[in-house]
Chain A
Amino acid sequence: MSTAVDMPHFVRAKQVEALPPPNLARGPIAWIRENLFSGPFNTLLTLVVLYLLYVSVPPLLRFLVIDAVWTGTDRAACRADTGGSESGACWAFIWDKINYFIYGSYTISERWRVNIFFILLGIGVVWLLWLRAPRRDLGAVYFFWLFPVFSYVLLTGGNESFSARFWLGFAIFGSLVMALFAFVAAVLKTALRPALILGGGIVAFVGLTLAVVDFDFGLTHVPTSLWGGILVTLLVATVGIVVSLPFGIVLALGRRSKLPIVRMASVIFIEFVRGVPLITVLIMANTMLPLFLPGDMTVDRLLRPLIGTALFASAYMAEVVRGGLQAMPKGQYEGAMSLGLNYPQMMTLIVLPQALRIVIPGIVNTFIGLFKDTSLVAIVGIFDLVKTIEASRIDPNWAAPTIGITGYAFAALFYFVFCFGMSRYSLGVERRLASGQNR
């Protein structure tokens, strides 16, 4: 029975039951015709793409896999004049140098410490990123406090042997912090006790951290000038990522603050850092920072670019986060305020969870950019992965025509695996969050 539109009078007598949709599935040939050859332009595009794939993929596969040299102890395996093969990648070279690529010149007998660092890093990353992992709050404590402190002790050897003067200075600094908290509490007219507990907690926390760093665990000191390879790359990237997100959020909130000084400071920092190339920041951090510091004070040569990249990424992160904050409807702020939530509660419970969710693609984009930018620390003489490859490819033991390309192919593979992993993870998170609250 159909419903005629020109009927002057109609009353439905029977409810129309829901029917299954018609079967629209078609075979592969229909799919190809529809998607690849639906018109002359589409057909042309398909053919061009197929040609490009034909030109690029087989030679690449032949070079990287089929003709590649997998075993060998020196250049002989990869040189035609000594009976080796020159037409494929020389993976034997990577295999021979892999320890240098991973650890740099890190003292060979102490490399187990780096391995433990990698394991600790892996545990922290999985604990935080696996959304169904148990006790992720403890995971955060581990990743943002225990792991950095232990890694520091593990990698450098700890045992900083601070002088008595240093501890005296720390005691003075600690009491100043407590006084500051009490002062702020008095200005804001809030209770004094929680402010003192908070201030004391921070001082105790910093003091405990310093004590651990100070303690002699009996580990040999390994100076940072010996560190290198994947160790340095992952270290710079992790520190950059871990610092840039919270610092970027603070900068973004600062830039939207009603307090003029806070806003100006944030704007100046962000615009200055964004307006300067990373290489300039690195070179300035490396060569100019020591000039400004008092003569007896030095900043570790690895720490300088570490701070440089972290601050650099923070400025970009701040703008990404600001985009998310601006996308938040005013009603969310009003809803939170009308319930009596104060500013920190409103931001951490209502606004930031939603704002950060909106900008996940932008955040991951910045992370990926940061991860690749770590290779620029080579400019100031830090032996990251790319620099170790560059140093190895001129080794006369491995003087062969394909060595350079093989080395860079390895670097490309390494960076691609990590960046692609980040990209896939963020897509997964987005999909999961979207299914939770389909709006």
Chain B
Amino acid sequence: MATTMSSQQIRSVDIDPKAESAVQMIDVHKWYGEFHVLRDINLNVRRGERIVICGPSGSGKSTMIRCINRLEEHQKGRIIVDGVELLDDLKRIDEVRRDVGMVFQHFNLFPHLTILENCTLAPIWVKKMPRKEAEEVAMHYLTRVKIPEQANKYPGQLSGGQQQRVAIARSLCMSPKIMLFDEPTSALDPEMVKEVLDTMVGLADEGMTMLCVTHEMGFARQVADRVIFMDYGQIVEMNTPDEFFKNPQHERTRLFLSQILH
């Protein structure tokens, strides 16, 4: 299998204490009950690297990136995020989550808070930032995602694309070192996909470390340093976008690409 080759390459990378890697996953396995959902995941993400993860539904791609901020727990192997290993220590997990932003398929904005409050909540309570400063930071990022004028509305009053951009701004307010995107455009109307992707491209251009689960292949071609294809809980193929799309090695990858690129 192609997996074995790529995982051996990664295995040679040791855990570096100075954390030049943003994320390291070493021999990670996870089970949901009897179901072996992640198998032998080995991945080393350098700082500033942009990685796109694709694959059929149920292939474990969401589970994999959710392991990085411990929304899911891995049962075997090691995960080191920004030099901190994810163990059962609650305090370290909160520390890691502070530095890892996440954008969800269904936005997960807090409907009882205004857009501004959504963005200032974590800086105020987690980072203990003064309210005024937090609001300035929030307005800065809301301006960057081009919706400062919506700051005092509630999430329910915004369109899907706007909500997703708020979700991105909300994560950025914590000045994360790594951003995880879990199918950020899958729940959007077709007309709104582009505004969200543009925001993500802007973020990538600024050198943010990004892991994106997405099927937007145009986005992958434009910004990704590496594209990962997953199936049956394994990394099946990993390559630069050029090679990945032009010259897929594994037949499962070829089949997948032929089905999504018409």
Contacts and interface: CB of A to CB of B under 8 A. Distances in A.
A437 B152 CA distance: 11
A350 B104 contact: no
B90 to A, nearest CB: 7
Q: Mostly helix, strand, loop or mixed at chain A's interface?
A: helix
Contacts of B101: 338
B104 A335 contact: yes
A437 B71 CA distance: 28
B88 to A, nearest CB: 11
A111 interface: no
B108 A189 contact: no
A437 B114 CA distance: 9
Interface stretch (A318-326, A340-348, A384-392): A340-348
Contacts of B171: 338-339
Interface of A: 188-190, 331-332, 334-342, 345, 349-350, 353-354, 357, 436-439
Contact of B97 (A340, A354, A437, A439): A340
Contacts of B189: none
Interface stretch (B12-20, B118-126, B137-145, B235-243): B118-126
Interface in B48-96: 69, 71, 89-91, 94-95
Contacts of A438: 154, 156-157
Contact of A335 (B95, B100, B109, B154): B109
Contacts of B111: 354, 437, 439
Nearest to A354: B112
Contact of B71 (A189, A338, A340): A338
Chain B, interface size: which category?
A: 20 to 34
Contact of A340 (B98, B107, B112): B98
Contacts of A349: 121, 125
B25 interface: no
Interface string B131-168: 00000000000000000000000111100000000000
Contacts of B170: 339
B71 A339 contact: no
Contacts of B90: 188, 342
8 contacts: A331-B104, A331-B108, A335-B108, A338-B171, A339-B171, A349-B121, A350-B110, A439-B156
B178 to A, nearest CB: 12
Residue of A336, A349, A357, A439 with most partner-chain B CB within 10 A = A349
Contact of A338 (B69, B110, B155): B69
A189 B91 contact: yes
- A340, A341, A349: most-surrounded residue (chain B CB, <10 A): A340
